[in-house]
Structure 1
Amino acid sequence: MPYFEGSGGTSLFCTDWGRGSPVVFVAGAWLSSSSWEFQMLPLSERGLRCVAFDKRGHGRSDWVGHGFDYDTLADDLAALLVHLDLRDVTLVAHSMGSGEVIRYLSRHGRDRVSRVALVSATAPLMAWAPDHPQGADRGLLEAALAERTRDRPRWMAQNAQAFFATHLGNTVSAELVEWTVQKCLDCSAKAAVEVIRTAFCTDLRDEAAALALPVLIIHGDADASAPVALCGRRLAELVPDNRYEEYPRAGHGVFITHAERLNQDLLDFIGDPASR
């Protein structure tokens, strides 16, 4: 069955393609498991078992009104790995999904996980703090959330080009832009607000510095959602055993605009079964 029970009995949808070493994909805010199709299909055809799930409040999972903190989201991820009894896992996370993975490792350990790839991460901290003056003011976050909530479809459509950094030459069809916007709208209004608060305000610096496994960090230097200086490069400074790849002129949606390069980087990191 494509459903499993997450924290607190929440019903969560998952997709499980292929056989071989397991790769679990964790989507970012507003997006569901279907956003990973440009990775899951080619990688499953290369001999990897590709698994993804819809976060609570997203896609085909229960649209509950609670549990959007990283502890609960990490427990949902843990429930998936136990449900499928996955071991020697590669976790691949996009955007705020990176925070879920980092919290999973600090909360549940790495017994089931061999390596981690963090793509366009919002970690380690986006908000201002006394020892983090480069962070953004939380008042600005609330103002932005209010603007989005007033007309989510309009806001998503207006910001889609920045998501892909098309102004720098990244080519995305109008149909694919529209498809992505619709995917971002396929979550509850409650989830859409709360996951952003979690991603923006949670301080993961100490947990990132304590990661004790190989980590691939991939970030676009034109990422408007998770600025590279605040996120990708800072993670690379904190994480002990990491390989850092910065994509020139890439925005937040690298899983689409740079799918071929991302897939090759993931295969190089995991080990390509087709080349063995």
Structure 2
Amino acid sequence: MPFVTVGAENLAPIDLYYEDHGSGQPVVLIHGFPFNGATWEKQAGPLLQAGYRTITYDRRGFGNSAQPATGYDYDTFSADLDVLLTELNLRDVILVGHSMGTGEVTRYLGTYGSERISRAVLLAPLAPFLLKTADNPEGVEQSLFDGFKQAIVDDRFAFLTSFCDNFFNYDQNKGKLVSEEAYRAHWEIGARGSAIGTLQCVDAWLTDFRGDLPRIDVPVLIVQGDQDRVLPFPATGQRLQPMLNGSQLVTLKGAPHGIPWTNATEVNKAIMEFIGQPAMART
């Protein structure tokens, strides 16, 4: 299996597992919490068939990547992404992130710039800033995130069930947009993640991305369901779009958080139309 080394913990390397298929313009897919690159299967196939080089990787702590006890913050996550792009010598890249993976996209562009990047797609985004503060009254109370962390500590596997319920809006979509088997597969992927990483990622959700947004100078597509129970649409995608000059927003009516699976046809159509557009002048 292919890996890139992004650091070390004691004497052990911190390796990220990736898959690199096809040729053509590269598309790098960055998965959501608490899953891994395998959850992109409904996007990877169509991208390959459309002639794109398709690359997925597992965030540190998840999937086949190393599970260190540190580094679960967006400065480190974006540095890990930079190593991957550099090691594979990728240029003219289309970055596609889902949920937590949109944080890597946003922080990477805000920190490293767009020399290697041509476009970005944010599916069910984390930005601009989830935490409620004096200068961010639209955010969510700290107590909610404290509750998530306590639930993970008390019984991570029960927490995963609750998370998957909200990820899919399972009470509404079971047997329609998602099968019991697909739900169970996502749960099992999440259960294989690092217990430490799963817990520490909750703090990463509270990253303030507002300072990154003015530095983003590539075309951006935002796609989100208006029934997202994990990252509520009014606090995230709907609010984010006016903060990204020239960005496009596609709102999926009635769709949940897990749109790469539940609404794959609509998501893929939006991505393909966006990445197939002629290159636009950067702001």
Deviations 1:131-187 (CA, angstroms, capped at 9, x unpaired): 111211212211221113312222222342321124444521110010011111221
Secondary structure of the residue that 1:135 maps to in structure 2? coil
Q: CA deviation at 1:14?
A: 0.2
- Alignment partner, residue 179 of structure 1: 185
- Alignment partner, residue 133 of structure 1: 137
Task: Report if aligned partners of 1:70, 1:100 keep a CA contact under 8 Å in 2.
Answer: yes
- Alignment partner, residue 208 of structure 1: 213
- Alignment partner, residue 63 of structure 1: 67
* TM-score (norm: length of structure 1): 0.94
Q: How many residues align?
A: 271
| Matches for 1:1-276 after TM superposition, within 5 Å | 2-8=2-8, 9-169=13-173, 170-199=176-205, 201-271=206-276
Query: RMSD of the alignment, in Å?
Result: 1.5
Task: Report if aligned partners of 2:96, 2:120 keep a CA contact under 8 Å in 1.
Answer: yes
Secondary structure of the residue that 1:6 maps to in structure 2? strand
Query: Which letter maps to 2:181?
Result: E
Deviations 1:53-103 (CA, angstroms, capped at 9, x unpaired): 111111111110101111110010001111111100000001111111111
Query: Which letter maps to 2:78?
Result: A
* TM-score (norm: length of structure 2): 0.92
Aligned equivalents of 2:151 and 2:262: distance in 1? 27
Query: Which letter maps to 1:150?
Result: D
Aligned equivalents of 2:252 and 2:214: distance in 1? 23
Aligned equivalents of 2:178 and 2:103: distance in 1? 27
Query: Which letter maps to 1:227?
Result: P
Q: CA deviation at 1:43?
A: 1.1
Secondary structure of the residue that 2:233 maps to in structure 1? coil
Segments of structure 2 that go 5 or more residues without pairing to the other structure are: 278-283
Aligned equivalents of 2:17 and 2:83: distance in 1? 12
Q: CA deviation at 1:2?
A: 1.0
Aligned equivalents of 1:49 and 1:105: distance in 2? 21
Percent identity between the two aligned chains: 34
Q: CA deviation at 1:7?
A: 4.0
Aligned equivalents of 2:145 and 2:86: distance in 1? 35
Q: CA deviation at 1:105?
A: 1.0
